[in-house]
Amino acid sequence: MTKMRFGMVLNVVALMLLLGFCCASDYKWRKAMISGETSSSMMMNRVGSSVLLPLYGNVYPIGYYNVTINIGQPSKPYFLDLDTGSDLTWLQCDAPCVHCVEAPHPFYRPSNDLVPCRDPLCESLHPPGEHKCDNPHQCDYEVEYADGGSSLGVLVRDVFALNYTNGAPLNPRLALGCGYDQLSGTSHHPLDGILGLGRGKTSITSQLYSQSLLRNVVGHCLSGRGGGFLFFGDGLYDSSRIVWTSMSLELPKFYSPGFAELVFSGKTTGLKDLIVVFDSGSSYTYFNSQAYQNLLDSMNKELAGKPFKVATDDQTLPLCWKGRKPFKSVRDVRKFFKSISFAFTSNGAKTQFELPPESYLIISNKGNVCLGILNGSDVGLKNLNIIGDISMQDRMVIYDNEKQLIGWDPANCDQLPKPKYAYT
């Protein structure tokens, strides 16, 4: 698991940075909802506008999807892990770097545009009552991830080189983290940083929205064959074709439809009130311990007498099966596995997010079939159930922060979509 984010408090030894700002003291981080202060007339000009970015990578064997964003003056490319499970975008930063990990590009050289401590963006990174300003001229941050990774740094503003889908340039000045002290987690990805796409004020989409540049909508389409696309704004989909469900009011930090019932092969498992979160920062899907054990019991019954046996010598994932001969694709085995669904009820309407075999199985490099649903309790997720990349492949998944809706629809993620409006 890579990207379910939780705050923590750490004391940091003072350090002089390249730009003359000092390091963070003990702070926490997390999200706050967008205030929504925009110009309605300017925002109306952005209806149907979008930014479209190609994605690279896959669930297996690479283990993540990433996007290239050009940042700074002069603009330089950076490979970022797209993460709907967190808000803050950050780059490994030469300020100088106390502890950084291997990255594909030279470390980001920060601008001298520091975000002050009392800025609302800075306040949103810290829990209520724990936002201190030992240095009022800078915003210190610290984020820790569920896999044990972390980033420590300061908030700066710099230019992001983007384009609307009609080709018009979009070069907003946005806040990002200059991360000068990183620790790798168990699921370390060799990238330049994180693209935070969560619900809070510091997320890229919230900042674009606050500047009246785009609707506060983000979506992605992850191809099962690798690659796909990421988009900001509402100009690339037909809303009438999307299956929508409401975001949970009880879980404002996450993209969560709230509580769900687990369905196996079209029949209820009896497990209800499961907390479900969509997280593009997680390569695989995670069930809590009860749901995971229920799933294993159901699968074992289905596979009894079938030409499979547990491949104990394959450590690709916790559970793999081998057949009489190596498998080449999930198509070779899909008839033996049943669909799984999360059933949601939103404002009286029922929706289901279905996981066909292609959405929870992989074929390892040993030719075995492996279960891409893991036990979240083993990685500290407790009762959370995470819908990760493997289960969002080959469908467009949309997070509409203005209407507080999550939507999905089957899609060809290998082909970049055309904008539904012609605009200037």
Residues identified as active-site = 83, 279
Query: What's the CA gap between 354 and 125, in Å, rounded?
Result: 34
Measured between alpha carbons, how far is 279 from 192 in angstroms, rounded to an integer? 20
By CB atoms closer than 10 A (0-12, 13-18, 19+), residue 244 is middle
Q: From residue 153, give the alpha-carbon distance in Å to each of 12, 192, 345.
A: 10, 14, 41
Per-residue b/e over 181-191, b at no fewer than 16 CB within 10 Å? bbebbebbbeb
* Helix intervals (H) in 277-386: 289-303
Q: What is the rounded distance in angstroms from the CA atom of residue 114 to the CA atom of residue 289? A: 44
State the DSSP code for 332: G
Token pair, residue 85, equals: 């499970």
Q: Where are the beta strands (DSSP E) in 73-222?
A: 76-83, 90-92, 140-145, 150-163, 169-170, 173-183, 193-196, 217-222
| Listed residue (193, 180, 18, 190) closest to 100, CA to CA | 180
The candidate with the shortest Cα–Cα distance to 218, out of 203, 201, 238, is: 203
Question: E strands within 88-131?
Answer: 90-92
Question: What is the C-alpha separation between 78 and 92, in angstroms, rounded?
Answer: 10
Residue found by looking up tokens 């999360």 in the block: 342
Q: How far apart are CA 77 and CA 56, in angstroms?
A: 14
From the number of C-beta atoms within 10 Å of its C-beta (0-12, 13-18, 19+), residue 40 rates as exposed
With a CB cutoff of 8 Å and minimum separation 6, the contacts of 330 are 357, 358, 361, 362, 363, 369
**Tokens 């935070």 label which residue?**
196
Q: Which of helix, strand or coil describes residue 349? A: strand
